[in-house]
Chains A and B, each alone.
Chain A
Amino acid sequence: MALVRITGLTKYFNDHKAVDNISLATREGEFLVLLGPSGCGKTTLLRMIAGLEKPSSGEVVIGGRVVNDLPPRVRNIAMVFQSYALYPHMTVFKNISFPLRALKMEKEKINEKVEWAAQMFGIEQLLNRKPRELSGGERQRVALARAMVRMPSVFLLDEPLSNLDAKLRASAREELQQFQRQIGITTIYVTHDQVEAMGLGNRIVVMNHGKVRQIGTPWEVYHEPADTFVATFVGSPPMNLTEQGDVLVGFRPESFLPLEVNQGHGELKQFEFEVSLVEDLGGDRLIYGRLDEQFGRQRVVSRFAPNINFPIEAGRTHLFTVPEGKVKLFDRQTGVRIEKNIPAGEPDGRD
């Protein structure tokens, strides 16, 4: 087990700054997720930790040792690529034992370890097959088994679930989390899928344009976003943002509910909401519409949980509210969160 600490890490590709002065540290046995849109530098960051990419400046420390100039093979890390990168000319057994053979381990010990890893991922019956004879889910398990087999000090995963179909992805996500907890290896996981990040991570690092926007638990990132990027990137549908003077007022669709529903939840901020579309997702209902003139007829979304039976239809205007505690304010120019109360406006509704 080891900690990964990064200080002032920067990477240029020609003139393009892919990673911009990033500092962060993992905790022991933590599942840390790097989340961001494609091209935000998260994979480059991971590759620098792995040693596949040389940092332009800054330091990577794994287990207390500066590894900047060390090749990947001596960093004692394991990595699973998005493509799984199985060796097509080797059987599953050979694939899994490949890292062990690099260590010049004894044959019996190799057999023992491969068996252990294969058992853990339920692929014992596939050991004699070649990668091309496996399904997507099986390939993913083989890649994980190969990464796990030599007990690395850090486990790096680059979007390992993105090649699986939606159904398989959900179950693979759950299994992955179980394995990680069981083994307790510090894991850094790269994804652009916020659902995956929320579900898997102990902490999430939200990145954009090569910079860290926020580091926090899934709860913090979702409920207390540091800026408008995080607020709109995490959550589906994203946080509603409306302009009011110099500030942007943000609130999550599920806190934006009719007055009647929100009553009893403390101080409420009120909005006139003209409903234009109601989307029934089976469980939840999504209500699309516009706010009144005071908020520049801004488009917003509301999300009704299944237990909210409030009748609503398109074309009508309702009085919607957000509990004061759920309203987040951001600077209009910089998008950074402002920690103060809502500016004077309409008197707040009270019960």
Chain B
Amino acid sequence: MADFRKLRKQASIYGVATFFTIFCAFPFYWMLITTFKRDSDLFNPTNDPFILNAAPTLDHLRVLFFHTLFLRYLLNTFVVGAAVVIITLLVAVPAAYSLTRWAGRWGEGLGIGIFLTYLVPPTLLFIPLSRVVAFFGLTESIGSLILVYPTFTIPFCTWLLMGFFKSIPPDIEEQALIDGYSRLGALVKVVLPLSISGLLTVVVFAFTLSMQEFIYALAFISVSAQKTVSIGVPTELVRGDVFRWGPLMAAALVASIPVAILYTFFLDRFIAGFTMGAIK
């Protein structure tokens, strides 16, 4: 009886897990097979769409890499992402720290206020921001994106980091002050190492947000060589009503691989329990 119950419990757990795994992995599977499908296979409505019906081909990847500026887009995306991550950290870390430790009971409200600006949609902001971009002479360059993306990464990441800083007991920081360090020294030597999972979350978040951003990139950049993946791929591979599904899917697949690796690599760092044993 007990064995049966145990078995049933396990079966239901694995059943649910299997369902969600398939649910999440299916888009990637679709991207994968479409990337390697011949056009004749892809556009034949009598074929089974879930499998490869003909021998795989590298044609779509060839189009992507040699007939578009895809590598350039990847590079632009990476440069923008890295710059945005650095700017975000430089601003959000001190902002979140002072809001949690010094702003007192205003801190929480201010933090939420800052977070709310994140919710203003880019569709409202891109017109006024285009004036700002023009003012700095950054039109038609990735510089415009490096300028604009922090406007939504900083509010969100500040709010996110506030939660992490709040979880660090003030005792530990005060101990560092007594042990001979300045506020800044305590921040660098004690607070930042203890919020490493928060910092990594910020890095991944800011990077993915700027990687997937579409509206600003579309509004500010029309020169091919300055495009990022998120606008380069759809603007160059969708011509009128012709969707080049093979190269489109290949682009999506290639662009998602580094992100997947990044997430997997840092996953265990996200798992908290890092500050355990600090007190008591």
Q: Give the interface of A toward B (CB within 8 A).
A: 50-52, 71-73, 77-79, 81-89, 98-99, 102-103, 130-134, 136, 146, 150, 163
Contact = CB atoms under 8 A, between A and B. Distances in A.
Contacts of A89: 193-194, 274
A130 B274 contact: no
A255 B190 CA distance: 54
A71 B177 contact: yes
Given A88-B194, A89-B194, A102-B185, A72 B278 contact: no
Contact of B174 (A85, A88, A136): A85
B182 A98 contact: no
B276 interface: yes
A110 B8 CA distance: 60
Interface string B24-48: 0000000000000000000000000
A132 B176 CA distance: 18
B116 interface: no
A52 B169 contact: no
Contacts of B169: 83, 85
Contacts of B171: 81-83, 85
A102 B180 contact: yes
B5 interface: no
B164 to A, nearest CB: 14
Contacts of A98: 176, 179, 189
A88 B182 contact: no
Contacts of A136: 280
21 contacts: A72-B174, A72-B178, A78-B179, A79-B178, A81-B174, A82-B171, A83-B171, A85-B171, A85-B175, A87-B175, A87-B190, A87-B278, A88-B274, A88-B275, A88-B278, A89-B194, A98-B176, A98-B189, A99-B180, A102-B181, A131-B277
Contact of B175 (A79, A132, A133, A163): A79
A78 B178 CA distance: 6
B277 A88 contact: yes
Bin the interface of chain B by size. Answer: 20 to 34
Contacts of B194: 87-89
A131 B179 CA distance: 17
Given A88-B194, A88-B275, A89-B194, A163 B280 contact: yes
A50 B180 CA distance: 12
Contacts of B261: none
B124 interface: no
A134 to B, nearest CB: 8
B193 A103 contact: no
A72 B277 CA distance: 25
Contact of A85 (B181, B274, B279): B279
Interface in B192-213: 193-194
B172 interface: yes
B276 to A, nearest CB: 5
A23 B276 CA distance: 40
A82 B169 CA distance: 12
B174 A103 contact: no
Closest 9 CB pairs of A and B: A132-B277, A102-B180, A83-B279, A88-B278, A85-B175, A85-B171, A99-B179, A72-B177, A73-B180
A81 B176 CA distance: 12
B276 A81 contact: no
A146 B178 contact: no
A87 B179 CA distance: 12
A52 B174 contact: yes
A73 to B, nearest CB: 5
Nearest to B279: A83
Contact of B178 (A77, A131, A134, A163): A77
A85 B277 contact: no
A131 B278 contact: yes
